[in-house]
Amino acid sequence: MPQPLDRRIQRRLRSQPSQDGDGVAIRRLHDFGGGLDPFLMLDELEAAPHDEAIGGFPPHPHRGIQTLTYALHGGLRHEDHLGHHSSIGAGDAQWMHTGRGIIHGETPFADARGLHAFQLWLNLAAADKLSPPTYRDVRRNEMPRLDRPGVSLTALGGDWQLADGERVSGPLEALAGQGSVAHATFDAGGTLSLASDATTLLVFVFDGELTVGGDGVTQGELVRLGEGGRLTLTSAGGAQALLLAGEPHNEPIAHYGPFVMNHRHELDQALRDYQNGTFVD
């Protein structure tokens, strides 16, 4: 039986300093032109322990996307117009399906190790953009983990398979675009070999350096992999990365602020709905 083709780096993006909400410092990666379809944006939030100037995200609307927020240290408090009030801490995640509309606010906080969290935007298919909004918390003990010598993989959502055939599925099974999200941690010398033929396969290195498909990737870089069926990740000195896989919608993308639709007139309608008070039921 022929061996699966190794996936190599096709594209590189580097995160850039930015700011959002009420003065929250972030590093951002984004492509609203479809180059990461079904993914749109990835923000990395960091702050020192006991930082009193983290800021927050006052109540604001969303339509047409899903968000997945994952905390490594510190956490976030969430509340929305649906009546959800919750907090996530280190190792926990929040998932929000905005559908036709949700208004929510988020307040990040640091713990003794500071704040380190991510928020991922996933694009909803046209057929789902006006679906009912939903929300869910996932605790760290709900996320299965695969351990191998020198490496571990924590599955937040979707299905992941090692090259040796062992599979793991994260608790978030309804990610847009058949999305899958995992957190991989490497000790010095650690190697992870994955079987994946997902059309979109991304690796974001947020700590240390990795060799991805034979090429080096440094901290703050996101890479998109080309075609194939196997991905090999290795680290000489230790690293951490987020792994993202999914299937593109291959639909037009129209973006304005917190709204992501397919056409400009749909963005205009979202703005009118929010301004005239008919955005949410």
Q: How far apart are CA 277 and CA 4, in angstroms?
A: 53
134 and 17 in a common domain:
yes
Is 218 within the bounds of a domain?
A: yes
138 and 52 in a common domain:
yes
What is the DSSP pairing of strand 134-138 with strand 159-161? unpaired
Question: What was the pLDDT predicted at 1?
Answer: 56
Is 255 within the bounds of a domain?
A: no
118 and 77 in a common domain:
yes
150 and 136 in a common domain:
no
264 and 204 in a common domain:
no
- CB of 18 within 8 A of CB of 26? yes
206 and 130 in a common domain:
no
Characterize 161-194 residue by residue with b for buried, 16 or more Cβ atoms within 10 angstroms of its Cβ, and e for exposed. eebeeeebebbbeebbbbbbbbbbbbeeebebeb
How many residues are there in the chain?
Answer: 281
164 and 105 in a common domain:
no
Is 52 within the bounds of a domain?
A: yes
241 and 191 in a common domain:
yes
- The answer to whether the peptide bond before residue 38 is cis (omega within 30 degrees of 0) is yes
Measured from the Cβ of residue 81, the count of other Cβ atoms closer than 10 Å reads 16
Domain count along the chain: 2
Which residue in this structure is represented by tokens 């304005």? 256
Beta strands in 130-179 (DSSP E): 134-138, 145-148, 151-157, 159-161, 167-169
Question: What was the pLDDT predicted at 123?
Answer: 98
CA-wise closest residue to 71 among 122, 106, 40, 20: 106
268 and 167 in a common domain:
no
Helix (H) or strand (E) holding 265: helix 264-276
Helix (H) or strand (E) holding 234: strand 230-234
Question: What was the pLDDT predicted at 51?
Answer: 65
pTM of full prediction above 0.85: yes
**Predicted confidence pLDDT, tens digits, the chain (281 residues):** 567 899 999 999 999 988 765 556 789 999 999 999 999 999 999 888 866 657 777 889 999 999 999 999 999 999 989 888 899 999 999 999 999 999 999 989 888 899 999 999 999 999 999 999 999 999 999 999 999 999 999 999 999 999 999 999 999 999 999 999 999 999 999 999 999 999 999 999 999 999 999 999 999 999 999 999 999 999 999 999 999 999 999 999 999 999 999 999 999 999 999 999 888 87
43 and 88 in a common domain:
yes
Q: Which residues form the domain of 218?
A: 145-250
Is 5 within the bounds of a domain?
A: no
157 and 135 in a common domain:
no
pLDDT tens column, 35-59: 999 999 999 998 888 666 577 778 8
Is 1 within the bounds of a domain?
A: no
Which residue in this structure is represented by tokens 């996320």? 143
Is 168 within the bounds of a domain?
A: yes
Q: What is the largest CA-CA distance in the chain?
A: 62
Q: How far apart are CA 100 and CA 278, in angstroms?
A: 11
Question: What was the pLDDT predicted at 250?
Answer: 98
CATH code assigned at 179: 2.60.120.10
Which residue type is seen at 75? G
Is 4 within the bounds of a domain?
A: no
Is 99 within the bounds of a domain?
A: yes
224 and 205 in a common domain:
yes
